Structure 1
Amino acid sequence: MITRIISLILVVYASYFFGLYVQGLVAPWEYNVSGKAFAEYHKAIDFYMSKRMPVLVLSYIGFMILFLIFNRKEWGTVAYWLIPVAIVLQAISTYIAITSNVHMNPEMNAWNPDNLPVNWQEMRDKWLYYHNRGRFINIPIQMIVFTSCYLFWNK
C-alpha cells in the first residue's frame, strides 16, 4: 500500500514538472512580449521559483529514493531501475540549471522595467536558451517516472 501511495505521489510530481516544461514548447510567449513585461514576469516568477523549486526538486528525489527503498525486493525489474536513471538525470538537470540560468537571476532581478539595460534582449535570449534546454532532459525524466510507475502498477 505504501509503495502505491509513493508511486502516486511520483506521478503527481511528474505531471507537474511535465506540464511546467511542456507549456513553454506549446506557447513560447516569453520571446514575444515587451521588455517591461518580460522583466516584470521574470521578477515575479523568480521570487517564487527560487524558493519553491529547490523544495520541489529535493522532495521529488526524496520520493524517488523512498520508491527504491520500499520496492527493494523488485530490484531486478525495469520499473525499479528506471528510477535511478531518473535520479541521475534530475541531478544533471539541477546542475545545468544552477550553473547556467540560475546564476543570471540576480542581475536580471535588478533590472528596472522602465529603464532596461541596452543588452536586455541578449540577456533574455541567453536566459531563455539556458532555461529551455532544460526541457530536453526534464521531459524525458518525467516520461521515465511515468513509465516506471505504470510498470510497477501493472506487474
Structure 2
Amino acid sequence: MLNALEVVTTVVIGVMVGVEFAVSFVMNPILNALPDDSTQRGHAHGGRMLGAVMPVWYIGSLVLVTVWAVAGWGTAGIGLVVTAGALLLLSVVMSLLLLVPINNRNKTWTPENRPADWQEQINRWNRYHYVRVAVIIAAFTSLVAALV
C-alpha cells in the first residue's frame, strides 16, 4: 500500500510541476505576445480557470506527502519526503501571501476596468510564480530521490 501511495503522490506532484512549468515557460510567453486586450483577457481567463483548480491540487499534494511521511515514518528516504512536504507547505504559503491576491484582482479585470499598472502586476505575479515553480521542482526532486 505504501508503494502505491508513493507512486500516486509522485505522479500527482509531477503533473502539477509540469502544468506550472508550462504556465511560466509556454503559456505566459504566448499570452504576452498577443495584443494588449487579448493579453489581459487571456491572463484573466487563465487566472479564473487555474485559480479554481490549483488550490485543490496544491493542498491535495501537501496532504498526500503528509500521509506518505506518516505512513512511511522510519523508512529509508523519509527525510527527503519531509523536506518535500516542507517545500510544498512553503509553496502554499507563497501562493496565499503573494500570488493569490494578484490573481484575485487579475481575474476580474476587463479592458474597460483594468488598472493602469495591470502589466506590472502581471509581471510581479510571473516573478513570484518562477520562484514557486523552483520550489515545487525541488519538492518533486526530493520525492523522486526518496524513491531510489
User: When the two structures are superposed, what TM-score results if normalisation uses the length of structure 2?
Assistant: 0.84
Per the alignment, residue 72 of structure 2 pairs with: 71
Q: Distance in 2 between matches of 1:116 and 1:48?
A: 19
2:116 partner SS: coil
SS at 1:57's partner residue? helix
1:111 is aligned to 109
Which one is further off, 48-57 or 139-148?
48-57
- 2:41 corresponding residue in structure 1: 40
CA contact (8 A) 2:51 2:103 kept: no
What TM-score, normalized by structure 1, do the two folds share?
Answer: 0.81
- Matched residues, percent identical? 16
1:53 partner amino acid: M
Structure with greater contact order relative to length (CA < 8 Å, sep ≥ 6): 1
Q: How far apart are the structure 2 equivalents of 1:131 and 1:15?
A: 17
- Aligned amino acid, residue 119 of structure 1: D
Corresponding residue for residue 18 of structure 1: 17
Structure 2: where are the runs of 5+ without partners?
Answer: none
The change in CA–CA distance for 1:58 and 1:106 in structure 2 (over 3 A counts) is closer
CA distance in 1, matches of 2:120, 2:132: 19
Query: Partner letter of residue 32 of structure 1?
Result: A
1 CA distance for matches of 2:24 and 2:44?
A: 21
Hey, what's the Cα distance between the residues in 2 that align with 1:124 and 1:58?
24
Deviations 1:117-151 (A, max 9, x none): 332222221121122221221111111112212x2
| CA RMSD across the alignment | 2.1
Distance 1:64 1:94 in 2: 13
Paired residues in the alignment total: 146
1:128 correspondence with 2:129: no
In the alignment, residue 14 of structure 2 is paired with which amino acid?
Answer: S
Deviations 1:12-47 (A, max 9, x none): 112212212332454351433332222222222222
Q: Which has the larger radius of gyration?
A: 1
Distance 2:74 2:119 in 1: 53
